[in-house]
């Protein structure tokens, strides 16, 4: 298994555990809030590189 696959499987497992352990709205807040907070913590140059990389993957 590749590293990205392992990360994805781990994320799904954590998400399912959160749904069982916490109310659905709290789990949703964590699942959506953590990536958003991580993105906002980036410098503007890092955000620009991330956007450019995403565009390249889409074939633009």
The whole-chain average pLDDT of the chain stands at 85
- Residue 22 scores a pLDDT above 80: yes
Does residue 34 sit in helix, strand or coil?
A: helix
- As a whole number of Å, the end-to-end CA separation of the chain is 29
Contacts of 30 (CB under 8 A, 6+ apart): 18, 22
Closest CA to 27 of 39, 16, 38, 40: 16
High-pLDDT (> 90) share of the chain, % = 27
Of 6-10, 24-28, 54-58, the poorest mean pLDDT is in 54-58
User: pTM for the full model?
Assistant: 0.56
> 32 to each of 1, 15, 27, 29, 56, how far by Cα in Å?
26, 11, 9, 5, 24
Compute CA 51 distance to the chain's CA centroid, rounded to the nearest angstrom. 15
**How high is the pLDDT of residue 60?**
57
Q: How confident is the model at residue 49 (pLDDT cuts 50, 70, 90)?
A: very high
């Amino acid at each position: 298994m590749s590293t990205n696959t392992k990360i994805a499987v781990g994320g799904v497992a954590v998400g399912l555990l959160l749904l069982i352990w916490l109310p659905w709205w709290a789990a949703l807040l964590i699942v959506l809030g953590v990536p958003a907070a991580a993105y906002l913590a980036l410098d503007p140059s890092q955000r620009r590189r991330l956007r450019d990389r995403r565009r390249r993957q889409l074939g633009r």
